[in-house]
Structure formats: structure tokens, C-alpha cells
Amino acid sequence: MKPINVGLLGIGTVGSGTWEVLRRNADEIQRRAGRAIRISRVADKALARARTIVKGKAKVSADAHEVTRAKDVDIVVELIGGTGVARELVLDAIAHGKHVVTANKALLAHHGNEIFAAAQKKGVMVAFEAAVGGGIPIIKAVREGLSANRIEWIAGIINGTSNFILSEMRDKGLDFGEVLAEAKRLGYAEADPSFDVEGVDAAHKLTILSALAFGIPMQFKKAYTEGITKLTRADITYAEELGYRIKLLGITKINSKGIELRVHPTLVPARRLIANVEGVMNAILVKGDAVGATLYYGAGAGSLPTASAVVADLVDVTRLITADPGHRVPHLAFQPDQLSDIRVLPIGEVETSYYFRLRVLDRPGVLADITRILAQGSISIDAMVQKEPAGEKQVDIVLLTHRALEKNVDAALKKIEKLRTVLGKVTRIRLEELL
Amino acid sequence: MKPINVGLLGIGTVGSGTWEVLRRNADEIQRRAGRAIRISRVADKALARARTIVKGKAKVSADAHEVTRAKDVDIVVELIGGTGVARELVLDAIAHGKHVVTANKALLAHHGNEIFAAAQKKGVMVAFEAAVGGGIPIIKAVREGLSANRIEWIAGIINGTSNFILSEMRDKGLDFGEVLAEAKRLGYAEADPSFDVEGVDAAHKLTILSALAFGIPMQFKKAYTEGITKLTRADITYAEELGYRIKLLGITKINSKGIELRVHPTLVPARRLIANVEGVMNAILVKGDAVGATLYYGAGAGSLPTASAVVADLVDVTRLITADPGHRVPHLAFQPDQLSDIRVLPIGEVETSYYFRLRVLDRPGVLADITRILAQGSISIDAMVQKEPAGEKQVDIVLLTHRALEKNVDAALKKIEKLRTVLGKVTRIRLEELL
């Protein structure tokens, strides 16, 4: 059979990895796919750099539309990133009957519904294994491997930069700012790290996982997003003493009221496998009603790991390229006319457990006031530790709660912060047992 | 579209789980697959029990051929187990043009080549996600998710019974026999546990993984198999002191000489995620040249988890049932005419690290004799610990080696055991860094 021709948009980190994997594993890939897969066209503004990589073995152009509209291109791989040009080019490729492979989580989280509808209408595939968890085949696991299950929840470490920072803060007893500087030096954090450390990147990925798990459209705007910038060494240490680790988790759950969609630092029991995922690695826990808890671990970013997912998508698309669209796995796991309109819950309606840290005056009756307010808000206490004196007549109190409604917690903390004996804001970190 | 009709062979533990999952998640499954999947026929010798489960909603028969040959059955699910009747029925189903889903690792390890060839000829699919790792979608991960990679090695905890026994021996400081009795009482071990504790079950599964990873035919007879029955509390404790855990691993690797295929107790660094997989859970590490190390974790057995994999296969087969065979994923990951004849290495040609435990007379020169023999065999020592006196003028020595060739180790240990100062046999456990 004649080779599949791929048009590559963007030959930066992941693009050059894709070029490299297709080149060095060409034989292995052809033996699996049944035909050769080759990049025949590349578009990149950095023409000279692109030419150095492809060494005359593909047509290089600065005009991406030459690729999206080329008659001799079967599949367009979008590795430009962002939601502007990338959206326009992906839609253009689809309009010209090309199948699309993309690693662009921001694009899908924001414009996935529009893109999948266009692809559906045109009868082409849009594959996106590389958009979540880098080289970990998590999209395939959720969409196909666990198709027998009602998914109950997903909780994942899906941002390597944040996990690296949290691992280093704990290991070396450093503060957020110190580790961030180190991460930038090592190339684990971008010059502007806000997408990573503020949880936005994780929320993009979680939005995709949630849609696949529960058969709902992409609803990034409804995701609750909280980053790791305010975490202190003290909280990491206190959590540790109580048997927990703090991880930035993306969590999506379904219950009788709706779907939770939230990214935030989370206390996780230290003995859980996912609590022991260190450095830039990613891991995703998926709980299904039949299979129970399953976990998927690997490199969540990087040139070759991400290329591994891009090329796996190319093999899948190649295999089904001449098949009737009915034989393909639906983009969002469920048939497009079978999506559900279950609502995404605002964070106030989420029920979880909590870690609170308060600084109080070391005076009789303080604790009675606090516990009374919590009880009034139906928040029951699971554990309490009074820490060493924090200053003259001041003391830190750490509380763990049982499951409570977030809006009740908001109200209670507001009241507690008004107590004259409570100094400053209460630190609140959510806690999940993940069972 | 009209429903897919499934014929079920055997409605025991996994069969009744499959019935249950298809029933309770019928809506979810139809929304994913695009059509209903229902069990219309069941064959089981225990007629009364089968009828109690299906409650008149499927035809029940004691004659399995009524199912394999029924005109109104699209897919036959084989959950009988074993390599006798199951082989005959699977081949009969294929001969009658049925697609097959099976959880039977023994059948595939022994007769997979014959079965896949028959299926290929007839143009039907044989799906077997449930044969390895229970509900973990590991077959799909290796065969599709990592298709861009040259797989370098796989190392897995793929027998839950053995892992439960090892976890309990370590946690509770018990001996093998004590924990085995407990495992039988809890239903984690069969009355005759030899397939599990002797490594045979793990070797069946490893044979399948090795074929998928390296594109070779099934070669169960060439697998090296060693169980956990001879492990002692002392070895578990000594390993722990040196920073290692002992796990029964299935390991398959490729190198320039050939393919390693071996199941044996293995020392693994305690900080590795896989070293922390406890109880009956399974986990499989897969190392690809592009993706790096990935890990897949979940329930490796049980009614509903295994049914999760069976039903996922049913969804996959349903989706491609009217597709051209060329659109399907090849049974063994590689196109059938593209299998390789790389040889499986005998255990003597395997290179790995080792843990040795010897009891010696506490006398000058003993260690010099031992280290001289090891050096002559090109076996270099990585660490050595002398344990407390084991008796009057006797002492236990524990050695860790760097990588060495197994046949050199055999020869060296033979010489060492002939020393008058060495008492009894040397305990030898292989060690893998898994990096």
C-alpha cells in the first residue's frame, strides 16, 4: 500500500520529536500499521531551523495553508499550540478533508466542541492522545479501555511543572519561589509559568478527560482552577506529619447533583501510589464501577514522550483512514448524538474534606469558638493538631475535616476569620482519600 | 442498528460479571458503541445455576456447540478456561465465522499461534484484553497506545495471588506457608495454588505481552519460570534492609542477542512505584524508546474487573464487526506477515544483577575464597553485608552483584558451594533496577 503522507504544522520541541520517532522507528511502525507513514510537508515560520531538521526529506514552507490544503497530504498534525492560529488551521485542514492529530489541550478545551462538530460533518478524524498526559495512553484508556464502565471519578497529576515544584519543596524544604527559579533554570518551567503553576494547563487537560469520562461537551469555563503559588513549606510539613502529601490534582467526579470539575492543591494519603509520583512525571487515577481504581503513569511532557502519543494517533488514523466513519471511535467516547447535558457544579456545591491551618491567640475558649462555628456549618472534625507556639502567645492549629459542602466551609471560615482571637486568613486545602 | 448478539461459554466468576456489567451499564455501553450489546445465549454445564443468573433473558444450554454454531450469535465469549475444551470451542467458533473474545491466557500462551492463524484465515477477530492484568487495559496500551515505540522491556506484577502472599509475608513477618493458608481462606488462592505460586500463570501472561511487544509468535515453552515457594522471611528482611522489595515479576527484554522471557522473584528498589504495589493488585511497567517508562496499575483479577476488559473487547469488536479486516488492529500488534524470528534466550544467557545469601563458617579467608571465585566468573560485587551470627561460629553473608551472565553465576555458585567453609546451598534471587 502507498505511504500515508503527513503534513506537520510546527516543528519545535514536539514536532522535531515526531519527525525523529517516525524516522528512527519507521520499520517498526510500518510493521504495525501495515503501511509507511511519512512526513511529506512541514510548515514553520523558522524556515532555516526546519530545513536543518528535515534535511531535504520533506517540503518546508512558512505558509501553513500550503500544508492544510495540500492535495498530497492525508493527515495534518497541529503542533503550533495556542487557540488562535491553531484553531483556524485545524478548521481549515478539516474543511479540506484532512484528518487531524493534535497535542493542543488549550485548543480542545476552548474550541473542541466546534472542532469535533466540523470533523463529524466532514467525516474526518481528530485524534488527540498527546493532549493529556504526554506519552501516557490515557485518552485511549478512558475512551476505549474502560468503555464497559460507568466512570465514577478521575484524579490526576497532569501538570509536570507543578509536580516537580511540589516534589522539590517537600524534598529540599524550599519555598515555592526558590523552586520555581530552579525549575526555570532546568527548563521545567517556562519564562511565564502562570499556565502551569496557576492550574490552567491542568484544567485544560481535565476538561478533556471529563468530557470523555461522562459524555458531556467540553466546558472549560466551568472548571474551578486554583494553583500552587500560595502553598507554604509549613503546609507541606504539617500535611506530611498527618500522613498526607500535597499534590496539584485535576479532579472530575459525577454524583447525583452533577459533575465536579476542579483543579487545586490536594492532600492525598501518603501511602497511595499517586502520592509517590515525583518530579515531572504524570499519573492519572481512573475509577470505574466495574474495574475499580486503575492508574496510568509516565512522562507527561517532553519531545519524544509527546511524540510517542502523536505517532500512536497517526497509526490509529492510518488504520481507519479508508474505513466508514461508523467504525471509528467517537471523538468524545460517546456517539455525538448521545452526549449528556448533566451540569457542571460550581465549586460551592462540591463536597470534599479539608485541611485548615489557623494562627490563633493562645487563650482559653478559642478552640471552643472555632469548633462551634464549624458544627453550625455541618462541618465535622476528623483530626486536630496544635503546633508549637508560633510567637508570643500565638499558636498554629491544624484541622482535618470530614466531607463537607464547600459553600458551608466558605461561610464558616468567614465567621472564624472575624473572631478576634483568630489572626489573619485561614489556610484551606482540600483533601481527598481517593478510594 | 440492531443489537449485537453475544454467546457466552461459561457463566462462572467472570461470566456472571460479564452478564452483570452488560446489564447494568447497558445504556452507557450503547451510547459508546452505537448499538446494543446483549448476551443472547449461554452455555454452561451447571444449567440450574446459569438459569438463576440469566432469569430467562438468554437461551441456556449445556451444549457449548449450540453457542459456537448458532446462526444468531455474532461474538462468542470464551470463559471456560484451560487448554482442552476451550481450544476446541474457540476454533469451532472461528470455523463458524464468529468473532471471539477470551480471557484465557493459558489457551493463548499454548495455542495462540494456531488460533490467530485460523482467525486470520476466516477474517474474524480474537480479542483478549482480559487475559493479562484483569481490568487494566494493558493489551491495548502495548498494542496501540505505544505503537510508535520500539519496546525495550516489560516488567510486571501479573499474578495477584503471589503479590498478595509476598505483601503479607513482608507486612506481617510470616512465612510462605502461613500466608498461603490465609490466602486460601480469603479466596485469593485456589485449592491447588501451583499455577499461581510457581509462576506458571504469570508466564502465560508474559508470553502474550512479549509477543505483542516484540512482534514474535507465542513461545510459552521457552519461558523461564520460577515461583515464590522457596522465599524466606529472612530474604525479605535482608532485601528490605538493603533498600529493596521482593516481587514476583514477569520480565521480557530485547537485546542484541535475543529476547529474555522470564518469571521469577526479583529484588526491586523500594522507591520504585511498582515496588509499592501491594496485595492482589497488578502493575505493569513498559519501557519504550520514545515514551520512556510507563506504568499501568489496577485489579488483575476478580469478577467485575475482568468483565470490564471482556466488555471493552466486545465494544471494540462491535465497532469493527462490519469493517474490512485491514482496518482492524493485528492480533499480535504487528501485521501477521511481519512477525520476527528473533530467538528467545535460554536463562543461562540472561544478564541481570543478583542477591546471594550464604551461610559460612566465621573463619579468616572465607570471604577471600568467595570473592576470588566470583571475580573469576566476571561477577563483580556491588554491596556486601555480614549479618548477625547465625549459630556458633556461623554467619550469614548477603551479597549484591552488578550485572552478570546467568551461566557464569551458575558456575561460580557451584564452586562456592563446594568450599568447605560454605554451608548448604547459596540462595540466589535476581535483582532489577528497572530504569
Q: Which of B41, B322, B127 is nearest to A148 (CA)?
A: B127
Looking at residues A303-314, what average pLDDT do you find? Answer: 98
**Mutate which of B32, B128, B282, B314 to test chain A, going by most A C-beta atoms within 10 A?**
B32
Interface of A with B in 178-217 (CB under 8 A): 215
Q: Which is nearest to A163 in space by CA: A188, A135, A132, A181?
A: A188
pLDDT at site A364: 87
Question: Are residues B315 and A147, on separate chains, in Cβ contact within 8 Å?
Answer: yes
Q: How many CA atoms lie within 13 A of B28 on its CB side?
A: 25
What backbone phi and psi angles, to 5 degrees, belong to B144?
A: -120, -50
Taken in order of first residue, the domains within chain B and their CATH numbers are 4-135+303-338 (3.40.50.720), 138-299 (3.30.360.10), 351-431 (3.30.70.260)
Percent of chain B with pLDDT over 70: 100
Whole-Å CA distances, A305 to B150, B291, B294: 12, 4, 10
Residue A133: phi and psi, rounded to 5, are: 70, 20
Question: How far is Cα A274 from Cα A167, in angstroms, rounded to an integer?
Answer: 12
Contacts of B326 in chain A (CB under 8 A): 34
Distance separating alpha carbons of residues A140 and A150, to the nearest angstrom? 16
Please tell me which residue of chain A has the smallest CA distance to B332: A32
Q: Smallest Cα–Cα separation from A332: which of A89, A163, A41, A131?
A: A131
Q: What is the CA radius of gyration of chain B?
A: 24
In B2-148, which residue ranges form alpha helices assigned H by DSSP? 13-24, 26-33, 47-54, 64-68, 85-95, 105-122, 138-140
Provide the b/e sequence for B95-107 (b: ≥16 CB within 10 Å): ebebbbbbbbbbb
Give the per-residue pLDDT at A1.
83
Residue of B22, B34, B335 lying closest to A31 (CB–CB): B335
As a whole number of angstroms, the distance between CA A121 and CA A331 comes to: 12
Predicted model pTM: 0.97
pLDDT of residue B1: 83
Task: Tell me if A115 sits within 8 A of A94, measured CB to CB.
Answer: yes
d(CA A1, CA A34): 8
- Which of B149, B297, B324 has its CB closest to that of A308? B149
Which chain B residue has its CA at the smallest distance from A295's CA? Answer: B297
Q: How many CB atoms lie within 10 A of CB B62?
A: 11
* Cα–Cα dist B96/B103, whole Å: 20
Our CA dihedral for A106, A108, A110, A115, rounded to 10 degrees, sits at: 140
* Minimum-distance CB partner of A296 among B22, B150, B296: B296
Q: Say whether residue A156 is in contact with chain B using an 8 A CB cutoff.
A: no
Q: Give the C-alpha separation, A400 to A33, whole Å.
A: 52
Active-site residue identified among B205, B222, B247, B287: B205
Which pLDDT tens digit goes with each residue over A148-201? 999 999 999 999 999 999 999 999 999 999 999 999 999 888 889 999 999 999
pLDDT confidence of residue B2: 92
Return the SS3 of A263: strand
pLDDT in tens, A236-248: 999 999 999 999 9
CA distance B214 to chain A (A): 9
pLDDT digits (tens, 9 = 90+) for B34-65: 999 999 999 999 999 999 999 999 999 999 99
Q: Assess whether B414 carries a catalytic annotation.
A: no
pLDDT level of residue B388 (50, 70, 90 thresholds): confident
Grid cell 509476598 in the structure block, residue: B166
Q: 290-349 in B: which are within 8 Å (CB) of A?
A: 290-299, 304-305, 307-312, 314-316, 319-320, 322-324, 326-330, 333-335, 338
Put simply, the chain B residues between 28 and 87 with a CB less than 8 A from any chain A CB are: 28-29, 31-34
Residues from chain A contacting residue B319 (CB–CB below 8 Å): 327-329
Determine the residue of chain A that is closest to B135 in CA distance: A291
Q: Which of A308, A310, A324 comes nearest B146 by C-beta?
A: A308
A185 Cβ contact list (under 8 Å, min separation 6): none
Q: Which residue of B has its CA nearest to A273?
A: B273
Which residues are bridge partners to B282 per DSSP? B298
B382 Cα to chain A: minimum distance (Å): 27
pLDDT reading at A36 higher than 80: yes
Query: Which of A215, A290, A324 is facing B305, going by the closest CB pair?
Result: A290
Tell me the three state secondary structure of residue B292. strand
CA distance B154 to chain A (A): 14
Beta strands (DSSP E) in B129-192 are 151-157
Q: Is the pLDDT of residue B417 over 80?
A: yes
Q: Which residues of A touch B298 (CB under 8 A)?
A: 291-295
Asked if the Cβ–Cβ distance from B29 to A334 is below 8 Å, we say no
**CB contacts, 8 Å: A312 with chain B:** 144-148
Nearest-Cα distance to chain B for A15, in Å, is 13
Q: Least CB-CB distance to B319: which of A294, A305, A329?
A: A329
Q: Given an 8 Å threshold on Cβ–Cβ distance, is B335 in contact with A305?
A: no
Give the Cβ contact number of residue B220 at 10 Å: 23
Compute chain A's Rg from CA coordinates. Answer: 24
Average pLDDT for A316-322: 96
Q: What is the pLDDT of residue B391?
A: 74
B389 CA: distance to closest CA in chain A (Å)? 35
Interface test with A, best of B6, B18, B37, B146 (most A CBs within 10 A): B146
Band of pLDDT at residue A252, cut at 50, 70 and 90: very high
The shortest CB-CB distance from A297 to any of B25, B294, B305 is to: B294
Contact yes or no for B171/B236 (Cβ under 8 A): no
CB pairs under 8 A between A and B: 220
Of A19-23, A89-93, A186-190, which gets the smallest average pLDDT?
A186-190
Chain B residues closer than 8 Å to A335 by CB = 31-32, 34
| Residue B399 confidence (pLDDT) above 70 | yes
For the four alpha carbons of A355, A358, A363 and A369, in that order, the dihedral sign comes to: negative
Distance of residue A245 Cα from the nearest chain B Cα, in angstroms: 15
* 3-state SS, residue A170: helix
Looking at beta carbons, which residues of chain A come within 8 Å of B150?
25, 28
Contact B294 A135 (CB under 8 A): yes
First to last CA, chain B: 49
Instruction: Suggest the residue from B27, B171, B291 to mutate for an interface test with chain A (most A CBs closer than 10 A).
Output: B291
Nearest to A9 by CA among A69, A86, A96, A82: A86
pLDDT given for residue B389 in this prediction: 74
The dihedral sign for the CA sequence B328, B331, B333, B338:
negative
Chain A: give the shortest CA distance to residue B412, in Å.
39
Say what the pLDDT of residue B390 is.
67
Give one DSSP letter per residue of A267-331, joined into a string.
Answer: EEETTSGGGG--TTEEEEEEEETTTEEEEEEEE-SSHHHHHHHHHHHHHHHHHHTTS-GGGSPPT
State residue B292's pLDDT score.
Answer: 98
Q: ipTM, 2 decimals?
A: 0.97
- Of all residues in chain A, the one with the smallest CA distance to B290 is A304
Catalytic, out of A105, A140, A205, A222: A205
pLDDT, greater one: A326 or B165 = B165
Query: Is residue B210 helix, strand or coil?
Result: helix
Q: Contacts from B276-279 at CB under 8 Å and sequence distance 24+?
A: B276/A273, B276/A276, B276/B245, B277/A273, B277/B157, B277/B163, B277/B247, B278/B163, B278/B167, B279/B160, B279/B163, B279/B164, B279/B167
| Candidate from A265-269, B228-232, B242-246, B392-396 with smallest mean pLDDT | B392-396
- B136: CB partners within 8 A, 6+ apart: A291, A294, B282, B284, B296, B297, B298, B299, B300, B309
CB nearest A144 (choices: B24, B293, B316): B316
Grid cell digits, residue A44: 514553520
A323 vs B144, B215, B327: nearest CB:
B327
Determine, for residues B288 and A135 on separate chains, whether the beta-carbon distance falls below 8 Å: yes
Give the three-state DSSP class for A26: helix
- Between CA B100 and CA B80 the distance in angstroms is 13
Query: What average pLDDT does this structure show over B366-372?
Result: 95
In degrees rounded to 5, what are phi and psi of residue B330?
-60, 145
Q: How far is CA A230 from CA A160, A177, A428, in A?
A: 18, 10, 11
Instruction: Mark yes or no for CB contact B32/A334 under 8 Å.
Output: yes
Instruction: Decide if A294 and B329 are in contact by the 8 Å CB cutoff.
Output: no
> Which residue in B134, B190, B185 sits closest to B162, CA to CA?
B190
How far apart are the C-alpha atoms of B80 and A139, rounded to whole Å? 32
Q: Is the pLDDT of residue A390 over 70?
A: no
CB-nearest to A326 from B34, B288, B307 is B34
E strands, B272-421, in order: 281-288, 292-299, 351-361, 381-391, 394-401, 404-405
* Best residue of A149, A274, A280, A281 to probe chain B, by most B CBs closer than 10 Å: A149
Q: Do A148 and B329 touch (CB under 8 A)?
A: no
* The C-alpha cell that represents A252 in the structure block: 472530575
Query: Rounded to an integer, what distance in angstroms lies between the CA atom of residue A290 and that of residue B435?
Result: 33
Distance from CA of B144 to the nearest CA of A (A): 7
CB pair distance less than 8 Å for B328 and A315:
no
Q: B273 in contact with A at a CB cutoff of 8 Å?
A: yes
| A381-391 and A351-361 strand pairing | unpaired
What chain A residue is nearest to B291 in terms of C-alpha separation?
Answer: A305
Average pLDDT over residues A111-116: 98
